[in-house]
Amino acid sequence: MAKIQLEHVEKYFGDVHVVKDLNLAIEDGSFTVLVGPSGCGKTTTLRLIAGLETITSGRIVIGDRDVTALEPKDRNVAMVFQNYALYPHMTVADNIAFGLMARKTPQDEIERRVHRAASMLDIESLLKRKPKQLSGGQQQRVAIGRAIVRNPNVFLFDEPLSNLDAKLRVEMRTELLKLHRELEATVVYVTHDQEEAMTMGDRIVIMDGGVIQQVGTPREIYFHPRHRFVAGFIGSPAMNMIEGRLEDGEFISSHFRIPLDGPAFEGDVILGIRPEDIYLPGSLPAERETPVLTAKVEVIELLGARAIVPLLVNDLSMRAVIDERHLEQVQEGGSMSIVFDRNRLHLFDAANGERIE
Amino acid sequence: MNRSRHFRETLVNGGLNLILVIALIIVLFPYFWIFLTSLKPVDLVARPEVWIFSPSLFNWRDVLLNSDVPRYLLNSVIVALSTVGVALVVAAPAAYSFSRFNTGGGATRFSILAAEMLPPAVLIVPLFLLMFRLALLNTHLAIIAAHLTFVTPVITWFLIGFFDEVPKDLEEQAMVDGYTRFQAFYKVVLPSVRPGLAAAAIFGFVLSWNDMFYALILSGGDSKTLPVAIAGYWTFRGIEMGKMAVAILVAIVPVLLASFFIQKYLVKGLGGGAVKY
């Protein structure tokens, strides 16, 4: 097991600057998720760590070894690809053993380790099959087995669950986390799915345009997004963003005003309110409620225990998440009173998107 | 209603089968005719309208036991196998490189087929002079070299499509697993395109096997290949139709056998899309 350090890493593909001065320390034994929209450089970063792409400049250290100039085979990392990349002409057992054979591991040792990995993943009965004869979920397990059997320093996962159906995906998430705990391994996990990032990572790295926007625990990222991009990217349904300006401690938009205490900032800002921080008046302690606003209810999208309610507040479209128990007070096409949770308001500088404390 | 539908289906099926039968007859009739000719006694060989006769094995005995045809057959086998062997060793990495790295750009990829577009007559003069200078005329090597000039580009081109279909992940996985790029190519990529390699091999084999032009000019005497020998039955005293028929049938057999043994790969290979996951 090992920590990973990326220092001033730059990557160009021709003229395209894909990764820009990336600095990141990934702790030993952590489960770090790289997340961002497609084209943000997350997969490239993972491939740089694996050595499948050479870095344009900078340094990558795994454990105490500078691996910048090393071939993938010499970095002692294991990678699980999105499409599993199982060798079609080999049996499951040979697929799992392939990496050990490269390292000239003795045959009995290979067999022992393959069986151990297979039993951890519950695929012992499949060892003699060819990849074609497996379901997507089983192929996924084989790909993971191939990674763990080698006992590598670092596990790299490139969107490993995105080809599975929703139910299996949720199951595999739990299983991967259990596996991570069992192996005490350093894991770097790439996904574009913010929910996957939130549920799996003990640290989340949010990237956009080749730059790290924020690194933090899921809680930090969710409650204290440092940038407008992070705020909008994490959370579903997405945070409501309202353009306006701050004057004398008051947020003023063309739709409503909210007196705030705290920020000394003056100028154009964006006010962010998560849909789940919108309430009916009276559900919060009085000091946390903002002044009551009247909103027109467009439709009600019931999810079960909660409902997503698209609203119009003086012609401003917003979304609220309302507890099912309060829904009787709300009618499609009718109007409702809403308040925001003062403690959960996010302010961003309209000029550069940075958070205003 | 059900009955009329049933009738229509029967009609359609019958029609399709009829087309197949006609196609088969068109393809197989010449073989059948050659086979008949090979069995005709000498006095009937030049009379195609005679269908009923008492078959004689005279031609077969004469060609297989008393002529040099077996040796020319061996020559053809040596030349074709060597050509295919060398061509595959060169073409597979070349095709991989075109496919994976777009080596030399699109223009290079296309220009390898240039030799294919020239009439063979253009190439034969320099090849002849070259072989003459190297004192390789009338050797297997000369014919193999000549055949490589058209077999290698064709099967390189042919294989590019197969390598295109191997996901890049596969070799990257092998590289992360501890193999060099070349090992990844050899152990993972090549086995994944086996159907393509088999089809390419047959394809190249047939190209080399059927060539008469280069072989006729570059070889002679002992190094003659079978097509040249077959043409040799066209003598000053006329065509020795019966013996030629036997030699033709002998020439067909190896290709037929090879195709039969790898037809599983061949169908997959020629159909493309050989490696699916």
* Residue A293: C-alpha distances to residues A41, A314, B2 (Å): 41, 9, 69
What are the structure tokens assigned to B141, written together? 């090597």
For A293, phi then psi, to 5°, come to: -115, 155
Residues B36 and B130 in one domain: no
pLDDT of residue B106: 82
Q: Give the separation between CA A321 and CA A305, rounded to whole angstroms.
A: 10
Is B55 within a domain? no
pLDDT at B266: 65
Q: Say if B169 is an interface residue toward chain A (CB within 8 Å).
A: yes
Tell me the CA distances in angstroms from A1 to A28, A29, A123, A185, one per residue in order. 6, 7, 25, 6
Q: Which residues have C-beta within 8 Å of that of residue B63, sequence separation ≥ 6? A: B69, B243, B246, B247, B250
Axis-axis angle for helices A136-148, A107-121 (nearest 10): 130
Q: Do A89 and B176 touch (CB under 8 A)?
A: no
Q: What is the per-residue pLDDT across B191-246, written as a single tens digit (0 to 9) for each?
A: 989 888 988 998 899 899 999 999 999 987 888 999 999 988 888 888 888 899 99
CATH class of A4-232: alpha beta
Interatomic CA distance for residues B90 and A25, integer angstroms: 46
Separation of alpha carbons A291 and A198, rounded Å: 32
Is B56 part of a structural domain of the chain?
Answer: no
Domain match, B135 and B105 both:
yes
Calculate mean pLDDT across residues A60-86.
93
Q: Domain check: are B188 and B261 in the same one?
A: yes
Contact A342, A289 (CB under 8 A): yes
Query: Does the structure show a pLDDT above 60 at B273?
Result: no
CATH number of domain containing B215: 1.10.3720.10
Please check the confidence at residue B271 and state whether its pLDDT lies above 60: no
Q: Indicate yes or no: CB of A52 within 8 angstroms of CB of B194.
A: no
Q: In the predicted model, is pLDDT for residue B275 greater than 50?
A: no
pLDDT over 50 at B136, yes or no: yes
Q: How many structural domains comprise chain B?
A: 2
pLDDT bracket for residue B274 (50, 70, 90): very low
Residue B53 inside a domain? The answer is: no
Compute the mean pLDDT over every residue in chain B, rounded to the nearest whole number: 88
**For residue A163, what are its two tokens?**
């080809």
Which amino acid, one-letter code, is at A150? R
Predicted complex ipTM:
0.83
B63 Rama class: left (phi>0) / alpha (psi -120 to 50) / beta: alpha
Tell me the residue range of the domain where B266 lies.
62-271
Structure-block tokens of residue B84:
């295919």
SS3 state at B15? helix
A124: confidence class by pLDDT, cuts 50, 70, 90: very high
Structural domain contains residue B159: yes
Q: Is A13 on the interface with B (CB under 8 A)?
A: no
Say what the pLDDT of residue B267 is. 67
Rounded to two decimals, the pTM is 0.82
Residues 6+ apart with CB under 8 A from B145: B127, B131, B136
* For residue B135, pLDDT beyond 70: yes
Domain ranges of chain A: 4-232, 240-356
Q: pLDDT tens digit string along B27-69?
A: 999 999 999 999 988 888 878 788 888 888 899 999 999 989 9
Within 8 A of B169 by CB-CB distance, chain A residues are 81-83, 85
* Helix residue ranges, H only, A51-192: 92-102, 107-121, 136-148, 166-183
B57 in a domain, yes or no? no
Answer for the pair A246, A266: CB distance below 8 angstroms, yes or no.
yes
Per-residue pLDDT averaged across B135-146, rounded? 92
Neighbours of A296 (CB within 10 A): 14
pLDDT band at residue B276 under the 50/70/90 scheme: very low
Work out the average pLDDT over A247-275. 89
Q: Within this chain, do residues B139 and B190 fall inside the same structural domain, yes or no?
A: yes
d(Cα A322, Cα A338) in Å, to the nearest integer?
10
Q: How many residues does chain A have?
A: 357
The whole-angstrom separation of Cα A309 and Cα A307 is 6
Tell whether B160 is covered by a domain.
yes
Which chain B residues contact residue A81 at CB under 8 A? 169, 172-173
- The predicted pLDDT at position B90 comes to 96
Q: Which residue in A75, A81, A132 is closest to B173 by CB distance?
A: A81
Which tens digit of pLDDT belongs to each residue from A161-183? 988 888 889 999 999 999 999 98
- Residue B139 CB partners (closer than 8 Å, separation 6+): B219, B223
Q: Cβ contact (<8 Å) for A72 and B176?
A: yes
Q: Are residues B203 and B66 in the same domain?
A: yes
Give the best residue of A67, A91, A98 to mutate against chain B (max B CB count within 10 A): A98
B40 in a domain, yes or no?
yes
Is B202 a domain residue? Answer: yes
Same domain, B19 and B85: no
- Closest by CA position to B158, among listed B103, B99, B213: B99
Least confident segment among A124-133, A223-232, B103-112: B103-112
Using DSSP's 3-state secondary structure scheme, residue B47 falls into coil
Residue B104: CB atoms within 10 A of its CB come to 13
Distance of CA A317 to the CA centre of its chain: 27
CB contact under 8 A, A88 and B277: yes
Q: Which residues pair with A59 in a beta bridge?
A: A7
Q: At what angle do helices B69-101 and B194-210 cross, to 10 degrees?
A: 140
Same domain, B21 and B103: no
> Quick one: residue A282, left, alpha or beta (phi over 0 = left, psi -120 to 50 = alpha)?
left
CB A253, CB A243: distance < 8 Å: yes
Tell me the average pLDDT across A129-137.
92
Same domain flag for B69 and B32: no
Give yes or no: residues B156 and B237 share one domain: yes
C-beta separation of A34 from A190 below 8 A: yes
Contact A25, A3 (CB under 8 A): yes
Residues B6 and B85 in one domain: no
Are B180 and B113 part of one and the same domain? yes
Cβ A148 vs Cβ A78: under 8 Å: yes
How many inter-chain contacts (A to B, CB under 8 Å) are there? 66
Chain A segment 27-56 residues within 8 A of B by beta carbon are 50-52
CATH architecture of A240-356: Beta Barrel (2.40)
| Cα gap B6→B12, rounded to integer Å | 10
Tell me what the mean pLDDT of segment A92-120 comes to.
Answer: 93
- Among residues B52, B63, B80, which one has the least CA distance to residue B241? B63
CA angle A336–A341–A345, rounded 5-degree value = 120
Judged by a CB distance cut-off of 8 A, whether residue A77 touches chain B is: yes
Higher pLDDT, B272 or A337: A337
Q: How far is CA A123 from CA A10, A118, A119, A145, in A?
A: 40, 5, 6, 9
Structural tokens at position A210:
């080749």
Q: What is the mean pLDDT of chain A?
A: 93
